[in-house]
Structure 1
Amino acid sequence: MMETEPSGSRVRDRVNQDDTETLLYSSGTTGASKGVVVSSHRNLIAMVQTVINRFSLEVGERFICTVPMFHIYGLVAFATGLLASGSMVVVLSKFEMHDMLSTIEKYRATYLPLVPPILVAMVNAADQIRKKYDLSSLHSALSGGAPLSKEVIEGFLEKYLNVKILQVYGLTESTGIGASTDSLEESRRYGYFSNPEATTSTLDSERWLRTGDVCYIDEDGFIFIIDRLKELIKYKGYQVRPAELEALLLTHPEIVDAAVIPFPDKEVGQFPMAYVVRKPGNDISETQVMEFVGTQVAPYKRIRKVAFVASIPKNPSGKILRKDLIKLATSKL
């Protein structure tokens, strides 16, 4: 656009694609939230292009913004990627189920990006929702920010026959771009803000990013992400995945929500403890919860302690705040 370079007196600071574009913070579900100084202009440009290429959006697609834009999910999707595609984005001032559903009906939304807790709530209240709201314009739901179990997906597809589910995966440290257990990006030059120890433990000497996910690759080359390494429960040398037990608990008709944490024990190291939200009007007992799970899993995976709560603490992106539940569970030890 300019034939000659601007004079030095007119340019105070030069910005290039490898400069830091944003300072985002990790979710802090298992420990303190960390400032992530990795979102360069190059990263964000690449992410916008990824969103555009991945969805191949038709003219007239309409999205409902249900997640905060100060998290990577909201930033790369709503604040940048979808706007760059020319799609309509309807932003909710705050999340409430009624507001979201009535907005879908009013604006004839076609895409509903959300987090698993909202999707679970839609499954549990499907009969009432379908009677009260017209969601016929909706053809796709996008889930991200936390794991979504097979059981919940099947339940949603059974209740909302014309809506397909897409799962998105990424993390703040990679500017939202999906990665495997180790990932490398061309422009990876930064780390955690004022936290060299955390940077060293996450980025190796060749700048590969350790995401902390437990996954496997099947014979067809597909990667399956099954849990977080930091969240595994160590029972007598066995590793128990909380996400597996949570998915199983959510299949019980009297359970609205659940979270599983490691509970310390002198003999076995740790065992699974469940926090459970009962469906209103039901009085399922601790014994019934443990028996429900115990008949479907190996002995070392059995839940050995249950507490009932009004709600499961979660951050704005829908991730369970396990550190809060662990603190609550161990406060009386």
Structure 2
Amino acid sequence: MFTSPYAPVEIPDVSIFDYLFENLSEAELDRTAVIDGVSGAELSYRALVDQITRVAGALAADGVGPGTVVGLLCPNTPQFTAVFHGILRAGATVTTINSLYTPDDIHRQLHDSVATWLITVSPLLPGAKAAAHASGIPDERIVVIDGEAGHRSLSDLLAADAPAPAVTIDPATHVAVLPYSSGTTAAPKGVMLSHRNLIANVQQARDLIGVVPEDKVLALLPFYHIYGMTVLLNLAFKQRASLVTMAKFDFVEFLRMIQDHRCSYIFIAPPIAVAVAKHPLVEKYDLSSVHTILSGAAPLDGALAAAVAARLDCRILQGYGMTEVSPVSHLIPIDAPHLSRASVGVTVPNMDCKLVSTETGDEIEAPSSGVSERGELLVRGPNVMLGYLNNEKATRETIDADGFLHTGDIATVNALGEVTIVDRSKELIKYKGYQIAPAELEALLLTHPQIADAAVIGAADADGQEIPKAFVVTVAESAVTAEEVIAFVSERVAPHKKVRAVEFIEVIPKSASGKILRKDLRARERAATVERPRTLRAAVPG
């Protein structure tokens, strides 16, 4: 095993609300907690805590508490922060829902999580309402934050002025949030994260990330995603920094908000790094306030990281993790300039790691010098999930008897404890940080009357970022085109799940048992990539 080079941290045995907000000083209460990136409206920590408490009281008065699951479908806004923590303060569980989801996607998550309430915003209400009704959630339990006739609003909850409830929970076992993850394979599953899981990961990461009260943190990455939830929302609040919210990504607005609000710490995913490194618009904005950029959610190329750092004259760090570990397990710390930007850094405190051979199952020895052999990365610590909701089989397949979570990623470790992700054994595709299960797209492709068989893998686009690519076998004498296949899928899935490339082949490689041999398709794709060199494209991520 190998562990963190940093000393273990204490993990308080309290609720996430108490951890973040109980010990605010008078001076901290008057600090700015959240800034609306569009309007510039500010919310102090004092006002935020008051709103959280009022939301908790109003929900509790309607029976929301331990055992209740509340769906939250909302982009990044100041209101999200109050509602999210208000639900948790009431003792309920939040299942955060991707704002890009189709009504069918929303329904599946509400149904699977057994949510009995849904809180959303008016632009998303039509699809949300259809999904809620299909899940048995009536209009009186659908709250529309910004107001809609026939539904309560956030203003209504705040005006109720009901006292926050006295809630007794076990932080180690009480499920605080239920984000959905595809894990290493198959359809999305509810990831049960306790209050202790969330607190542990903020404690593990806060000193390594280095956000300070004077920082203005651009909240571009969605709060409904575990990366945004932990590393932006919770960690920034714990550090008493100011969050600048961005409801949806627009590159010009991204640059404007950094300039106008003097944002200093920026959390991104790799596709945004491409635009920052290459787009000519960057020169038109004053981005001198930025001192650090941290990239996560997908692998960042070392050369791309260097280009971003040089262009903005800032630090650039990288992190690694997954929803199942709340999510951070590895980071390049802010005080470790010697680590390679192509690595994911070192193990965070309070975690044990090991590498296991995918061929023999034997543990790979951590080296005293040089770099280890390749192996699957296994992690164990207080930030590892309780398990998958109502899915003991998937939980046992992911977390072994010794408590190690099998990440499905192939890594090496060097004598300094620096971990580099070199390959993937799991089937999961990560497009711009969003998880996509190949099986879901394959099942959809097979409903096309001119497709006889199909397989989907992650492939690199022109910028070296991962996209879903379909290998398709057509029926005899079919004239279907790649564009038609892409359009067929696009009409039926959320935008991030779209197939972005199609290759027609004669047969899908499969094992004797009928399992798709994705490793063969990945090898085929790697061989083809060698023949078409990658270049960084000066374009805004779409």
> What TM-score results when the alignment is normalised by the length of structure 2?
0.42
1:218 has 2:414 as partner = yes
How far off is 1:45 after superposition? 1.4
Corresponding residue of 1:33: 188
Q: Residue in 1 aligned with 2:41?
A: none
How far apart are 1:312 and its partner, in Å? 8.9
CA apart distance, 1:51: 3.5
Superposed CA RMSD in Å reads: 3.5
Name stretches of at least 5 consecutive residues in structure 1 with no aligned partner. 1-10, 233-241, 252-256, 276-286, 295-309, 314-333
Q: CA deviation at 1:101?
A: 0.6
* Matching of residues 84-95 of structure 1 within 5 Å: 84-95=238-249
1:143 is aligned to 2:295: yes
Report Cα offsets for 1:263-308 as digits up to 9, x if no partner.
Answer: 5756896344669xxxxxxxxxxx9x763349xxxxxxxxxxxxxx
Query: 1:138 is matched by which residue type in structure 2?
Result: V
Q: CA deviation at 1:40?
A: 1.1
Aligned equivalents of 2:385, 2:213: Cα separation in 1: 37
Mark the CA change 1:30 to 1:57 in structure 2 (over 3 Å): closer, same or farther: same
Alignment match, 1:167? 318
Aligned-pair CA distance for 1:165? 0.6
| Cα shift readout 1:174-196 (whole Å, capped 9, x = no counterpart) | 11130641122247572101112
Aligned CA distance change for structure 1 residues 26 and 222 (closer, same or farther; 3 Å): same
In the TM superposition, what is the alpha-carbon distance from 1:206 to its structure 2 partner? 2.1
Contact kept, 8 Å, 2:180 with 2:191, in 1: the verdict is yes
Of the structure 1 ranges 76-85 and 179-188, higher mean CA displacement relative to structure 2 is found in 179-188
Pick closer, same or farther for the CA change 1:36–1:141 going to 2, 3 Å: same
Rate the CA distance shift 1:312–1:95 in 2: closer, same or farther, 3 A.
closer
Q: Secondary structure at the match of 1:216?
A: strand
Residues 57 and 128 of structure 1: is their aligned pair in 2 closer, same or farther, counting only changes over 3 Å? Answer: closer
Alignment partner of 2:532: what SS? Answer: helix
Partner in structure 2 of residue 129 of structure 1: 282
Residue 205 (structure 1) aligns with:
401
Find 1:178's aligned residue among 329, 335, 346. Answer: 329
Amino acid at match of 1:100: F
Which runs of 5 or more residues in structure 2 are unaligned? Answer: 1-164, 331-352, 354-376, 429-456, 472-504, 511-516
Change (3 A) 1:100 1:175: same
1:171 and 1:204 mapped to 2: Cα distance? 17
Corresponding residue of 2:214:
60
Aligned letter for 2:282? Answer: I
Matches within 5 A, 1:63-102: 63-102=217-256
Residues 207 and 51 of structure 1, relative CA distance in 2, 3 Å threshold? closer
2:296/2:318 contact within 8 Å kept? yes
Shift in CA distance, 58/190, structure 1 to aligned 2, threshold 3 Å: closer
* Alignment length (residue pairs): 257
Q: Is the 8 A contact 2:217 2:263 kept in 1?
A: yes
Gap change, CA 1:261 and 1:88, over 3 Å in 2: same
User: Which is greater in Rg?
Assistant: 2
Alignment of 1:1-333 (within 5 A): 14-18=168-172, 19-26=174-181, 31-37=186-192, 39-125=193-279, 127-130=280-283, 132-160=284-312, 162-178=313-329, 180=353, 181-186=377-382, 190-231=386-427, 246=460, 249-250=462-463, 259=467, 263=471, 265=507, 270-272=520-522, 291-293=531-533
TM-score normalized by structure 1?
0.67
**Residue of structure 2 equivalent to 1:328:** none
C-alpha distance in 1 between matches for 2:255 and 2:385? 42
Q: CA deviation at 1:73?
A: 0.5
Q: Percent of aligned positions with the same letter in both sequences? A: 30
Deviates more, 1:81-90 or 1:14-23: 14-23
Give the Cα separation in 1 of the matches to 2:466 and 2:409. Answer: 21
- State the distance in 2 between where 1:187 and 1:144 align: 17
1:178 partner SS: strand
